[in-house]
Amino acid sequence: MIETKSWMDECKLDADNKSASRVVEKHGVLMVSNFLLASVGTRGVCDDLALRLASAGWPVLTTSSRSNRAARLLDMLRTSWNRRHLFDVAQVDVFSGPAFLWSELVCLLLRQIGKPYILTLHGGNLPAFGRRWSWRLRRQLRLAAAVTTPSRYLFEAMRPYRRELKLLPNSLDVSAFQFRLRHDVSPRLVWLRKFHHLYNPSLAPRTVALLKDEFPELHLTMIGPDKGDGALAHTQRTSTELGLSARHISFQSTIPASQVPCELEKSDIFLNTTNFDNTPVSILEAMAGGMCIVSTEVGGIPFLLEDGYDALLVPPDEPLAMARAIRRILTEPGLAQQLSFNARRKVEEFDWSKILPQWEDLLAGVYRLGSGSQTRSSWTKEN
């Protein structure tokens, strides 16, 4: 019984999904993460995974959609306890920083009620968190029935804390994005992310300012919700101070997921300016549409993209380097076409038709593992 959300009607599920014809044990699943689409308009990987599992016949419960952090934690704990008879296995997202606490508390409760669970690690800053709190991270990973990571970067970085990890990439419906091979690119740029200081959005207008005189038709569209840390206001102020007008740069708030392919189609170059990253779905979406990607070379990005093959990678917070990469795409013969073609070919390996069956097998296997009394008692004994 997945929580009903209006965005479900926007998603066109693939009726020929490979998982539909597979024989897999399907048990109730509790998914614990930040399901914030309904409350603050932020769509996460957890939303898509919950919907895909439900469409494949899994009874799915989700928690929590509360916008307030304290209320969200209480809702997660209350749902885990009150609905414990409705699920057999849980999947818990793990983030760094203060958010790590709610995963610890939820997992403690799951062990007390004898429910096996999978941890899914997120965030390019998690390795830094582990260096500060190694004992907490090691304990959390050790007690889980299984641990997944969405990127090779986190897979390698988290192995000192637990050797047995499973790589399950962030996924998307590749067919929802019309592939357009970029032969002759225009100076139309797009940035699609949350306005948060971690993603360094002000790097984008600083880069555009270096190119606007050389390419008078250049325009950057920045799309994303304001996370309230001042990053949006700082980016807009930077744009004004650099003399950028509406002819050079425009800002949009959050757009529905169904409109993302159309927005990406309007531009040819995708900018990713972040200082920390893992495997952002926004980059996967840009790859699916055949965009030419210019990204900072941080976190999991070099594990996802290969410089000069399917993207151009630059050092973080260096507008000169980012401007040079954009100039190369606009002036170097054949480069845009190469990046566009290779990006689309790579992202096809991230399609839900290939990743969802792996999630189903993992959930079924964890349930079988946790159904044994010996395994269950060993979890509860440690607490």
Q: What is the CATH number of the domain that holds 371?
A: 3.40.50.2000
* Residue among 222, 346, 353 at smallest CA distance from 288: 346
Does 363 share its domain with 373?
yes
Does 345 share its domain with 355?
no
Q: How far is CA 375 from the centre of its chain?
A: 32
Evaluate whether residue 1 is within a structural domain: no
Q: What is the 3-state secondary structure (H, E, C) of 154-184?
A: HHHHHCCCCCCCEECCCCECHHHCCCCCCCC
Does 100 share its domain with 162?
yes
* Residue among 120, 147, 116, 162 at smallest CA distance from 379: 116
What pLDDT shows up at residue 41? 59
Residues spanned by the domain of 356: 6-171+351-381
Q: What parts of the chain have a pLDDT lower than 70? A: 1-23, 38-42, 372-383
What pLDDT shows up at residue 12? 38
Does 100 share its domain with 214?
no
Q: How far is it, in rounded angstroms, from Cα 190 to Cα 192?
A: 6
Q: How far is it, in rounded angstroms, from Cα 208 to Cα 261?
A: 23
Task: State pLDDT tens for residues 14-44.
Answer: 434 444 445 677 999 999 999 987 656 567 8
What pLDDT shows up at residue 265? 95
Largest CA distance in the chain: 70
Evaluate whether residue 337 is within a structural domain: yes
Q: How far is it, in rounded angstroms, from Cα 326 to Cα 336?
A: 10
Cβ 272 vs Cβ 302: under 8 Å:
no
Which pair of structure tokens corresponds to residue 300?
A: 């999991």
What pLDDT shows up at residue 198? 92
Does 122 share its domain with 256?
no
